[in-house]
Amino acid sequence: KQEVTQIPAALSVPEGENLVLNCSFTDSAIYNLQWFRQDPGKGLTSLLLIQSSQREQTSGRLNASLDKSSGRSTLYIAASQPGDSATYLCAVKETSGSRLTFGEGTQLTVNP
């Protein structure tokens, strides 16, 4: 059974810092991996999707990498801003079917 772990569970940084969020998964037979953002009391917003054949994806100040063989992904946020404060979840999709398996998220606080 696929398990997804995110470290750290919470992170607090001053504005302007670059930071890395980590995600690991136990079964490397994945179809893709996604990073989502969740604001308090809200739904999930997809940030980046990396197919299993890709190594990284970039969107603005966000860069996500994937090392499928080692079961790891990182989300790099450059020049963090207070508006980046949210919970970041990673999720992996199996090679068949429609199911995503989520990690429990990293709660990020960026202090002005």
**Is position 89 an interface residue for another protein (rule: CB under 8 A)?**
yes
Using CB under 8 A, which of 12, 18, 26, 46 touches another protein?
46
Report the alpha-carbon angle 20-22-24, nearest 5: 160
Length of the chain: 112
Q: Could you give the string, one character per residue 1-40, with x where binding to another protein holds by CB under 8 A and - elsewhere?
A: ---x--------------------------x--x-x----
Contact status: 104 vs another protein (CB under 8 A):
yes
The reply to whether 49 sits near another protein by the rule CB under 8 A is yes
Residues in contact with another protein by the rule CB under 8 A = 4, 31, 34, 36, 41-46, 49, 89, 93, 96-100, 102-105, 107
